[in-house]
A = this chain, B = another copy of it.
Amino acid sequence: MAFPTDLEIANAVKPKKITKIAKKLGIDKNDLELYGKGKAKIPLSYIDPEKIKKNKLVLVTAITPTPAGEGKTTVSIGLVDGLNKIGKQATAVIREPSLGPVFGIKGGAAGGGYSQVIPMEDINLHFTGDFNAIEKANNLLSAAIDNNIQSRTKSIGIDPSTVTWKRVMDMNDRSLREVIVGVGDKNGVVRQDGFNITPASEIMAILCLSENFSDLKERLGKIYVADKFDGTPVFAKDLKIVGAMAILLKEAIKPNLVQTLEGNPALVHGGPFASIAQGTNTIIATKMGLSLSEYVVTEAGFGADLGAEKFLNIKCVAGGLSPDAAVVVATVRALRHHGGAHKNDLQKPDLEKLKAGFPNLEKHIENVQKFNITPVVAINYFPNDSDEEIEFIINECEKKGIKAVVSKAFAEGGKGAEDLARAVAEVADANETNFTPLYNHSAGIQEKIETIAKEIYGADKVNFLAKAKRVMKDLEKKGFDKLPVCMVKTPKSLSDDDNKLGRPSGFSVTVRDFEIASGAGFIIPMLGDAMRMPGLPSTPAAEGMDIDDNGVITGLS
């Protein structure tokens, strides 16, 4: 019999009442705002600064992933279930899926196998409406900009050719990357615009980095949108639209409580896409988790060169957070890939290819160590992994003083992650990590980019195209140079070139352009071809989906 699909596994479990999950965390059911069956929002009043200091934060990151992903969410959820199995009180704090990948190529982001969060279908679809709220706040600002530009009486003098603020839509839709708006009679002023995918909205980053509602409003007001004809910058607050944007986000700021298949708590809040966005969950959810349980397991997207770097240099600094341990997820399959195995041979044991690919894992381990955090390697087990391959990884890690542990959370749930849970708890409880960010936010823009590229990616050199140089100067002139950088880069390689597998060396990376998120508080250097609006593949996942008259869904993963 074939292994059941994620959806079949999820549907076979009878979920606990969400009020019961909340009760375990000490949340009164009258404080909970329910959203359909099995989802609820928690008011911010449960955040407790004393508990945040005391409790343990575990960051889950990964090696450079293959397109299917290496199961970081699966391991995170398995680890939470594993920690609870060995008697530790743990909560998962993960990100909300975007509809783009759900209907595109990657699938949702609610874990897999016996390590999932549920209700999986709702989480992967509109969930509690957070993405929609972000989208509307983003696009209300766009409408206000264009409305002001065409107004004869209220115009504040925005130069239409300088508008950097883009519209967003939570969809993989390449045709919207670059558009001309305002076409036609009395339809405003014609100008070039573009749509990013909603997780790449600065509003998403602001939601992820805000400490509370007043911080959120403050950041919304500081969003840079364009220049006036006289060259002075225009911010969202100049359009008198910040109150309305904040109203749209009044519920989205509250973390969402769901549960793992084993009935342990999970907070799902904030957006994905660590390649093209900040891509970590919200500071509020992380702090909520730490306020309510002894261990918080959180994840950052893609490899440690992307999600973890941003989580540590941007989010932890902004929120005063300090991880007590990190998990680097690896799969034997992906290491074979990095060692040069052909796509068709990835499922076959191949010790030589694995050995050749191992330096990729090595580099991600070193990357975590550069922040003074002790990593544990989680080998996300697949049935075709050979004993020799796994032993090789364990032994090589041991030589570096790092523990590598097999996780069978996909096939076995928390029981399959007990060893991993023990290893992680040991590191976290030892209180030996001493988190240090990689760079000082006040360093120059170029210096910050070079630090990340050389230290984390392993590059020799950073090239700046002419446009990038020009924009960088302008950002300096506008006083944005003291902000951290949020790199846009392919997740498929440590470099900015998809084809450079393993642990590349002797390469340079190229910054072609910048975007600015002055409200969220970071500069966005754009490397290589990475796009902030994905496209659909020639056969989108959406084509295989259906729902019958009883509401039973098939094809969603």
Chain A interface (Cβ < 8 Å from any Cβ of B): 33-37, 41, 99, 103, 121, 125-126, 129, 132-133, 136, 139-140, 142-144, 146-147, 150-154, 169-184, 186-189, 192-193, 212-214, 217, 240-241, 243-244, 246-248, 250-251, 535-536, 538-540, 542-547, 549, 551, 553-556
Q: Which of B177, B240, B243 contacts A187 (CB 8 A)?
A: B177
CA distance A126 to B247 in the complex (A): 10
- Given A136-B170, A179-B180, A247-B547, 14 other A-B residues pairs in contact with their CB atoms under 8 A: A36-B251, A139-B173, A147-B173, A147-B175, A147-B540, A151-B538, A175-B188, A178-B187, A179-B183, A241-B543, A243-B542, A247-B545, A247-B546, A247-B553
Is B551's CB under 8 angstroms from A250's CB? yes
CA distance A34 to B35 in the complex (A): 6
CA distance A142 to B99 in the complex (A): 14
Decide: A171 near B542, CB < 8 A? Known: A103-B244, A129-B132. Answer: no
CA distance A259 to B34 in the complex (A): 17
Q: Which of B214, B535, B546 contacts A147 (CB 8 A)?
A: B535
Is B542's CB under 8 angstroms from A244's CB? yes
Decide: A144 near B179, CB < 8 A? Known: A99-B136, A212-B549, A547-B247. Answer: no
Give the distance to chain B from A146, nearest Cβ to Cβ, in Å.
Answer: 4
Provide the residues of chain B in CB contact with A154, threshold 8 Å. Answer: 538-539
Give the distance to chain B from A247, nearest Cβ to Cβ, in Å.
Answer: 5
Is B174's CB under 8 angstroms from A147's CB? yes
Is A125's CB under 8 angstroms from B247's CB? yes
Copy count, this protein chain:
2
CA distance A551 to B126 in the complex (A): 23
Provide the residues of chain B in CB contact with A151, threshold 8 Å. Answer: 538
CB-based nearest B residue for A243: B546
Q: Which of B126, B173, B214 contacts A143 (CB 8 A)?
A: B173
Q: Which of B139, B146, B536 contacts A174 (CB 8 A)?
A: B146
What are 22 A-B contacts defined by CB distance under 8 Å?
A34-B35, A34-B36, A36-B41, A36-B251, A126-B248, A139-B169, A140-B542, A142-B175, A143-B172, A143-B536, A147-B174, A147-B175, A147-B540, A150-B174, A154-B538, A175-B187, A175-B193, A183-B192, A212-B549, A241-B543, A243-B546, A244-B542
CB-based nearest B residue for A539: B154
Is A174's CB under 8 angstroms from B192's CB? no
CA distance A175 to B174 in the complex (A): 20
CB-based nearest B residue for A153: B538
Is B545's CB under 8 angstroms from A243's CB? yes
Is B36's CB under 8 angstroms from A33's CB? yes
Give the distance to chain B from A204, nearest Cβ to Cβ, in Å.
Answer: 15
Provide the residues of chain B in CB contact with A551, threshold 8 Å. Answer: 213, 250
CB-based nearest B residue for A130: B126
Give the distance to chain B from A539, nearest Cβ to Cβ, in Å.
Answer: 7
Is A171's CB under 8 angstroms from B143's CB? yes
Q: Which of B175, B182, B542, B546 contacts A175 (CB 8 A)?
A: B182
Provide the residues of chain B in CB contact with A241, threshold 8 Å. Answer: 540, 542-543
Nearest 4 A/B pairs, CB to CB:
A243-B546, A244-B542, A178-B184, A146-B175
Is A248's CB under 8 angstroms from B183's CB? no
Is A251's CB under 8 angstroms from B126's CB? yes
CB-based nearest B residue for A535: B147
CA distance A153 to B126 in the complex (A): 31
Provide the residues of chain B in CB contact with A133, threshold 8 Å. Answer: 126
Is B171's CB under 8 angstroms from A177's CB? no
CA distance A257 to B151 in the complex (A): 40
CA distance A99 to B555 in the complex (A): 32
Provide the residues of chain B in CB contact with A186, threshold 8 Å. Answer: 174
CB-based nearest B residue for A212: B549
CA distance A251 to B553 in the complex (A): 13
CA distance A544 to B242 in the complex (A): 10
